[in-house]
Amino acid sequence: MQRFIAFVVLVAAVALVTWQTGFTPPQILSVTVFSAFIVGTLLYWPFRLAFALVGVAILLAARLVDIPHLVEFASLDVILFLVGMMIVIGFLEERRFFEVVVEKALPHVGGSALSLLSAVMLMAFFSAALVDEVTSILFMSAIVLRIARRFHLNPVPYIIMTVFATNIGSSATVVGNPIGVLIALRAGLSFPDFLRWATPIALAALVLTMILSFLYYRRPLRELHQAVHRVGLSADPADAERAAAGEAAAAGNPGHAAGSSTPDLRFPSLLFVGTVAGLVLHKQLEHWLGLESNTMLVGVALFAAGIVLLVERHRARELVERRVDWWTLAFFLLLFASAGTLRYVGVTEHIAEALVDATGGSVPRLLVAITWSIGALTALMDNVLAVASFIPIVGDLAAQGIAVQPLWWGMLFGGTILGNLTLIGSTANIVVLGLLERQERRSVGFMEWFWPGAVTAIPSLILATLLLYLQLPLLIG
């Protein structure tokens, strides 16, 4: 009952504010429906798709959007890219590609807790950058939990540090996070653009986050250091094999049976390298083929997914049904369509004009305002919700002749780095909390996450904002 009252009060407050601001009746209704969608999603997370479906139905019935524009706003290019990558990543996971790579790397990291955790955070960063944050946190958290069990330590501090690195790593490339895909396809940014502008800043934020995390978690770091010296880092191969077999059996993955040897990774390795190379070179492919910008960003993901399904043959349908998160994709599609409606009725243009008036049209001021607004919203809701809400606003700023290139990067870092601030700041956070509850019977309190998040995320976003500010002449040029 309390949540329902909160829902009604918040939605009514938004409607009242828009009415007093001078919005037209269609704009007031559009903002009210969209806010009901967002608030309902936050308060009743398991039913978010229901709120999305009802919200879009109301927008259609009220003639606030028509079918052609609904399809246009739904961002099918983003959805298709995510479908393709989910199929590829699901296949690689089932072939144990990531698990084997990580387990082969860990014994070479040295004998201290500092080097071990540094290696784990670096692997979390790069795996999130090369695949996506959810896939990365799934197999990296399995490694961290295995380490914590071996040394009989509380896994929460080490898991939180791993999530921090994962979220930051998801900003380094276009494939690391759905918001990166969304921004790339809306801003016309390529994989090399991310390597040039996002990756160096993400690495700088990672280094600062690691230093601050190690200072904040001095005691857990000392406990791990003592345990490593007492027990040793290398795990018993039989224990590791039994653990891998048990995890596989629980997940129902083929080729993962107890007693199985290291899988043949020749084709998975070729697929992984080929897909990443195709994404990196998609601009060149588009130039050679005379295609529109970012056509092959989607095309490479779909082609790689098609190869996977041909290789899987009889298991192809099972792979698509089990590994593609259709629930989340349907939610994203309706979210993008609903956010696009705000632009259709002129709400985002109104907000863009207010931002220009408040900042005087100054790109540095807009950069700070949008980066930290996205960050604040991300801390209160999922980062995809926050970024999807702002993309039409940035589009209207561009229509007013403002150089918005720096603003896209500010949105990216605000939506990823400040996702570390709270429990619900990113999908990776929510996923790992579920893992801790299911596997370790441990829950993490809001403040238990918030304080290390504040210590690391706020300085890291300040650093990212400063580095973007220093490069403004290059970005605008």
Burial class (CB in 10 A: 0-12, 13-18, 19+), 98: buried
For residue 184, how far is the Cα from the chain centroid? Answer: 14
Residue 257 has pLDDT above 50, yes or no: no
Which pLDDT score, from 0 to 100, does residue 261 have?
Answer: 60
CA distance 31 to 348: 10
Give exposure, 358-373, as e/b (b: 16+ Cβ within 10 Å).
ebeeebeebbbbbbbb
pTM over 0.85, yes/no: no
CB 332 within 8 Å of CB 78: yes
Which pLDDT score, from 0 to 100, does residue 235 have?
Answer: 46
Instruction: Kindly list the distances between the CA atom of residue 147 and the CA atoms of 52, 151, 235, 434, in Å, as whole numbers in the listed order.
Output: 40, 6, 9, 19
Provide, rounded to the nearest whole percent, the portion of the chain with pLDDT above 90: 48
Tokens of 51: 């709120």
Which pLDDT score, from 0 to 100, does residue 245 have?
Answer: 47
Tokens of 327: 């629930």
Tokens of 376: 């604040």
CA distance 337 to 76: 10
CB 158 within 8 Å of CB 143: no
Residue 37 has pLDDT above 50, yes or no: yes
Which of 38-52, 247-261, 301-315 comes out lowest in average pLDDT? 247-261
Q: What is the pLDDT of residues 165-199, one digit of tens each?
A: 999 999 999 989 989 999 999 998 989 999 999 99
Q: What is the pLDDT of residues 349-371, one digit of tens each?
A: 888 888 889 999 999 999 999 99
Of the chain, the end-to-end C-alpha distance in Å amounts to 54
| One-letter amino acid for residue 474 of the chain | L
Neighbours of 198 (CB within 10 A): 26
CA distance 74 to 67: 10
Phi, psi (degrees; rounded to nearest 5) at 309 = -70, -35
CA distance 450 to 111: 31
The mean pLDDT value of the chain amounts to 87
Residue 121 has pLDDT above 90, yes or no: yes
Q: What is the pLDDT of residues 200-244, one digit of tens each?
A: 999 999 999 999 999 999 999 999 989 888 776 554 434 444 444
Average pLDDT of 247-253? 45
Provide, rounded to the nearest whole percent, the portion of the chain with pLDDT above 70: 92
Burial class (CB in 10 A: 0-12, 13-18, 19+), 97: buried
DSSP 291: P
Which of 89-93, 313-317, 359-363 comes out lowest in average pLDDT? 89-93
CA distance 205 to 457: 9
Which pLDDT score, from 0 to 100, does residue 267 have?
Answer: 93
Tokens of 158: 């080490």
Q: What is the pLDDT of residues 376-414, one digit of tens each?
A: 988 877 788 889 888 999 999 999 899 999 999 999 999
CB 394 within 8 Å of CB 405: no
Average pLDDT of 264-289? 89
CA distance 312 to 469: 48
Residue reference for tokens 């380490």: 147
